Structure 1
């Protein structure tokens, strides 16, 4: 099972989710760690190859952007509360910046 690696403020951001949403994210990330796909996800090609968004619909809309294509870990790039139908440019840019950061390592 791959370990989770949280980039930037993603762990703190995830800790700010309501408890039910955090539990749902934990369940989905556990599946990802085992090489499975989440139950509700979307490819995020604008962030980078192999990047996906987990979609949580509990007490609002919550999103976790991650990349699992590396052999060593599942990288959590960004976790946020989605307030509009379209993902904001700020959220995409932040995830993209963090994606570039892990590619340099």
Structure 2
């Protein structure tokens, strides 16, 4: 997920209920931070979902002072 920031990763889950994504970052020592989780409705990840994760990442960096 370099579209959000280097080091941000994605877990893809598919089951009988559909496709799901978990966007997270694990490069900070204190914890693994989940930035956004959502169910995929289309082939392409929506700009809204990417923007939510990007804003949460920026907020996290500010909060941690990194």
Same fold (TM over 0.5): yes
> Any unmatched runs of 5+ in structure 2?
none
More helix by percentage: 1
Q: Please state if 1:97 is matched with 2:50.
A: no
Alignment of 1:51-66 (within 5 A): 51-58=8-15, 59-66=17-24
Taking structure 2 as the reference length, the TM-score comes to: 0.91
> Any unmatched runs of 5+ in structure 1?
1-43
For these two proteins, the number of residue pairs brought into alignment is: 62
> After superposition, what is the alpha-carbon deviation per residue over 1:12-63, rounded to whole angstroms, capped at 9, x for unaligned?
xxxxxxxxxxxxxxxxxxxxxxxxxxxxxxxx00111110110000120000
List, as ranges, runs of 4+ consecutive aligned residues in structure 1 with deviation greater than 2 Å: none
Picking from 26, 32, 49, the partner of 2:6 is: 49
More strand by percentage: 2
Identify the structure with bigger relative contact order (alpha carbons < 8 Å, sequence gap 6+). 1
